[in-house]
Amino acid sequence: MSTEQSESATAVTAHTQGETQAAPAVAVTQQATTPTATTSTQRVKNPKRVAAGKMVAERTRLVREQQKKAAEAYLAENKAKAATAAPEPAPTTEGESPKCSVEKNSGLSTTQWLAVASTVVSLVGIYYKREELKAVFGKKTPEPAPEPARVEPEPARATQPKGLKK
């Protein structure tokens, strides 16, 4: 700092502290605060972390590209198969047993038939259980005896009429 700046700085500090104090004779050469911003406002990035993040992003991008290529190839292959495959002729039923022809015409698979059968069995079981419970609880229970008359006497009434007393 030059002497003019130091004099103006001391004059400013004297003015802020009040007119009653005298300005210090020593010139101020250092500032109390740093002129540059501290690291708390600026974020310092770790270069190793940045490099690792870039590597991960690149790997992810490459994997996505490979997956897209594989999906496109798979779809193209399926389209080619669908276009080249001729519809298969219906099999003849001359040499087959009647059991197979009934099964194919029924429209339900074995698993579906088993599900239907188990539902029917459970409904029948519920019906019979209901009938059994009706037989047990359906019997009339004897009616309860009427309650005995009260043994306690009723409280006596007040003999004075209600209202204003004279």
Quick: pLDDT tens for 139-162: 655 566 667 666 676 666 666 667
With CA atoms as reference, report the closest residue to 30 among 47, 5, 50.
Answer: 5
The answer to whether residue 19 scores a pLDDT higher than 60 is: no
Q: What is the percent of the chain with per-residue pLDDT over 90, rounded to a whole number?
A: 31
Give the model confidence (pLDDT) of 87-97 as tens digits: 666 666 665 55
Residues 6+ apart with CB under 8 A from 24: 10, 13
Mean pLDDT, to the nearest integer, of 32-60? 83
Q: Which of 34-43, 73-82, 146-155 has the highest mean pLDDT?
A: 73-82
**Residue reference for tokens 């099999």:** 91
- Coil, strand, or helix at residue 75? helix
Residue 65 burial class via C-beta count within 10 angstroms: exposed 0-12, middle 13-18, buried 19 and up: exposed
Quickly state the pLDDT bin for 125 (edges 50, 70, 90).
very high
Give residue 138's pLDDT: 74
> Which one is predicted more confidently, 42 or 141?
42
Q: Which of 6-10, 24-28, 112-116, 147-151 has the highest mean pLDDT?
A: 112-116
The answer to whether residue 9 scores a pLDDT higher than 70 is: no
Give residue 134's pLDDT: 85
Mean pLDDT of the chain: 74
Mean pLDDT, to the nearest integer, of 66-74? 95
The pTM (predicted TM-score) of the whole model is 0.28
**Residue reference for tokens 């698993």:** 111
